[in-house]
Structure 1
């Protein structure tokens, strides 16, 4: 899709305004073009002959035309603003909706910080382009053609000066814009890099402070900031060339007009008022070119931003739904992995998971243990199709997960991540995310099961207590309990707990396990854990080592037969087991 078609697709909803706005712009331009003509009349027919009545008459007409043009310009600007704001809103909504439907693999490739820049800065650039286009794209050509025609009518003898100046300025603008495009593209890349550092630093500010790494982070930031500054200065230098070069051209044009026009006037070939009118038309023509040049600079930025936004909108989701997906309200939760291999990129040499096979029946509790980087989280992320297996099959109720309707699959699951990310709002709204129609009783029961109810009741507003961004006003343990409650508020067929009790004390963790066994006995539960104590009572435990399933069985079986499990157990609990 071309840039113009892309822009037009988002302007279609404002067709009526797009028809009306140019009418006011045309009227404004006509008013501007009449001013030099009226000035000529006042000088040549009024002032030259001392006719005060005629001066007053044409002066009044000039004032009326000026006010009329002003009103038309204001209306056009208001309409252009409405169109550009509507354009930006629709485009931003489409971009955000696109991100919501991208897979983890897509998001890994695009980078969240990069996406933020595309949805904010890049769309703002496009919005500005639309606003300027509706004001200038119509005005500038009309003013250019109109002033050129009026200048020729006023004095054919002086017209060659305008043609020469116009050709020179057009060539100049072309060269400047051609040079500016790659510079603006480079500037956007530098801005992306700076945003990545800002996001990473703010996300890990506690780690930075804990390791007294402020200086190092400041150096990294300053390096990227200086790079962006240099790129901005470079692009500003290019922009800065336009006005001085054009003003020089205009002033030289006026000098030539006064020189040749003065000679013509001396010989009676042209009236003084005509020279004044001709200079005014020259100024109108030149300023229309200057404005067009500024618009073209905006176009250069908009082309870069448009390309980046289209890349986001055209990103094909890695996870695609089957053409005839299976839709079942309730899944039993029988899960089977059949010779599953996985790597994040096809080009990667190392497999993250290698030939994983196991089954889990409805109601089973499956523990997953292993060293950091063993592939535990990756394995459970294949069940809700956050990623797809590179080879092999993941089956639920004997149907490949790829065959299910995505909404069906995930509606039957609850996932509680290790990093308990809460949203701005209240405790209640955060838990409600797990079940849209959850009653207060459902929320309380989930909070009781996650051991969150007790501390929530101590808050003055209880379940309506405000939660700051990312839950920054709650402790790590409190955030995890609210996060677990969010996962338990509905009764899922499959529950995935990805090391989600790591911030809980032993007593609270045990109470959560008891609640799960009591309230969710028909739910297939996967518990990813670093601690053996978290999975010791599981029906079966998977032991992963560098993506390989090295052990499968219950605690007692693995303790006897699996060296890796035995070593983990002894290092955590002791030899008495």
Structure 2
């Protein structure tokens, strides 16, 4: 998968890669030419006392050295530019792909793993591209060219190369093969550490409230130790590689000097040729060691490439239609569910089954039921966070599976069960609902959501900062800001998924009264736990184990639905007391 990923993602940068190869080729040729010039200076200039030849060849060596430096700088510039652009594009494509995922795919991968794949994994593959541009091109050229130039200097010492180069390759290959499983396990355990750390940071108040710091420290220590163990194993193999390579280099140097010295003594080669041969041998072995750096990165990058490709190759289960249509303007706000069912993959029984109702603009449909009855799942089917496995969900008279996703979402104002705010300001969060909203429209939405008073009391007003998740606001304030974000959009269908649970009864009543005039031309679907929040709804659905066990108005259900009667009875005393 890594090869396919690199081939596809580096295709737009062929010109830069060609430049890298060209400059690396020129630079290596210049480097290979220098020892030969040095040998001529020693054998023809120094021995013969030809000062003019020494100056001429020395000047040529200086010019070749400057050319080699210029080529190396140019190759590094193009290589780093290619790798940086590659990493940028890969992170962008991963982000966009994750943005198309339904809730099912996000749950399958897990948020910590998706974060690691988009950051750490991309960085590892990007590092491989850098090393490939700087090393993978130059090392083979230097190795082959070095062997040719060394044999040109003296063929009699060629047997040293025939022994040393394969020995170095075999030793490095053995170590790299041992490192692959460790790197694969390392990425999985980085995910595990990321997951534990994310849970502890997100739930820090719960941890402190129940005095679970020692337990959480131990849980993190276990995950951290597991990562440390595999990292130490990989590090030990990595540490073995360099001494092993240096052993081969030093033994080969001694062999060249020993046997080459005898050949010089016998007059079979010159001192300059011996020096050049030794230099070429060092260049060959250094090229192998440079390739070793890249080979050390390949196993880990291969694992990361597989993980990245897995995300990029995953298609969302909520696929956009091939021939999308737009909602019928004459049926704006129409919401219809016909015999809807939903079964999760591998589940023994459906979460929802046989749910049907119709709602028109100006009406409110409420859904109540016990925990786990399927209320939030029902709401998530309308904006296609999941796709129904049975039946049809229609918005604006059109099956949501045939609607253009942007057209569908533009019709909906969703307030999720967990009110989430993005880091920024109050204004920027409200503009998520309607980017072109004016300040007057923002304040009007805040008035409806009963949030205008506390926002006006903030020193910066609409420009008051909001931390990640809105943690600098209380739960009730977050819910009201989330409701204002939906109201400012003025959608055709409002979806309130237990959006009033953090509000006191008085604020809840004022907010519902203010919503009435705003939603006269829209359909409202409300999931609620409190009967007081939905007693005035035009239609109330009572869910139990994914089935509709009651439907009607509040009075009708009180008279004829046992499940609804139990819900009302459980809340009656508290409501009367309030």
Superposition deviation, residue 329 in structure 1:
6.5
Q: Which residue of 2 aligns with 1:478?
A: 477
1:372 partner SS:
coil
Q: Which residue of 1 aligns with 2:174?
A: 175
1:449-495 residue CA offsets vs partner (Å, 9 max, x unmatched): 00111111112221122222222222222211111110001221110
Distance 1:575 1:556, change over 3 A: farther
CA distance in 2: counterparts of 1:251 and 1:288, whole angstroms: 15
1:407 paired to 2:406: yes
What is residue 508 of structure 2 aligned with on the other side?
Answer: 509
> Gaps spanning 5+ residues in structure 2: where?
none
State the alpha-carbon separation in 2 of the partners of residues 58 and 225 from structure 1: 59
Residue 515 of structure 1 deviates from its aligned partner by: 1.3
Contact 2:383 2:409 survives alignment (8 Å):
yes
Distance 1:61 1:335 in 2: 83
CA distance in 2, matches of 1:535, 1:576: 13
What corresponds to 1:142 in structure 2?
A: 141
Residue matched to 1:343: 343
Q: Distance in 2 between matches of 1:28 and 1:510?
A: 78
Q: Give the whole-Å Cα distance in 1 for the aligned partners of 2:33 and 2:201.
A: 58
Q: Deviations over 1:281-304 (max 9, x none)?
A: 011001111111221222222211
SS at match of 1:521: coil
- Alpha-carbon contact 1:102-1:319 (below 8 Å) kept: yes
Deviations 1:52-108 (A, max 9, x none): 554444444333332332222122111111111111111111111111111111111
Cα deviations by residue, 1:291-323 (Å, 9 ceiling, x for unpaired): 112212222222111111111111111011222
Structure 1 residue 114: Cα displacement:
0.6
What secondary structure does 1:140 align onto? helix
Is residue 31 from structure 1 mapped to residue 27 from structure 2 by the alignment? no
User: Matches of 2:65 and 2:323 in 1, distance apart?
Assistant: 65
Q: 1:178-197, aligned counterparts within 5 Å?
A: 178-197=177-196
How far apart are 1:575 and its partner, in Å? 9.5
Q: Which deviates further from its counterpart, 417-426 or 325-334?
A: 325-334
Q: Given the superposition, is the C-alpha separation of residues 274 and 501 from structure 1 closer, same or farther in structure 2, using an over 3 Å criterion? A: same
Q: Is the Cα–Cα contact under 8 Å of residues 370 and 544 in structure 1 kept in the other structure?
A: yes
Distance 2:2 2:221 in 1: 35
Q: Secondary structure at the match of 1:435?
A: coil
Q: How does 1:96-245 map to 2 (within 5 A)?
A: 96-245=95-244
Tell me the secondary structure at the aligned position of residue 573 of structure 2. coil
Q: Deviations over 1:256-295 (max 9, x none)?
A: 1122111111111111221111111011001111111221
Deviation digits for residues 515-551 of structure 1, max 9, x if unmatched?
A: 1111111211111112111112111211112222222
Aligned-pair Cα RMSD in Å = 1.8
Aligned to 2:519: 520
2:170 alignment partner, SS class: helix
From the superposition, tell whether residues 329 and 142 of structure 1 become closer, same or farther in structure 2 (CA, over 3 Å). Answer: farther
After TM superposition, give the deviation of residue 174 of structure 1 in Å.
2.5
How many positions carry a matched residue from both structures? 575
Give the Å deviation of 1:19: 2.1
Secondary structure, aligned partner of 2:156? coil
State how far apart, in whole Å, the 2-side matches of 1:234 and 1:377 are: 46
Q: Is the 2:327–2:396 contact (alpha carbons within 8 Å) kept by the matching residues of 1?
A: no
Task: Name the CA shift for 1:328/1:351 in 2 (closer, same or farther; >3 Å).
Answer: closer
Instruction: Give yes or no for contact 1:540–1:554 (8 Å, CA) kept in 2.
Output: yes
Counterpart of 1:358 in 2: which secondary structure? strand
8 Å Cα contact 2:361-2:523 kept in structure 1: yes
Secondary structure of 1:402's aligned partner = coil
SS of 2:296's partner is helix
TM-score (norm 1): 0.96
Using a 3 Å threshold, how does the CA distance of structure 1 residues 243 and 575 change in structure 2: closer, same or farther?
A: closer
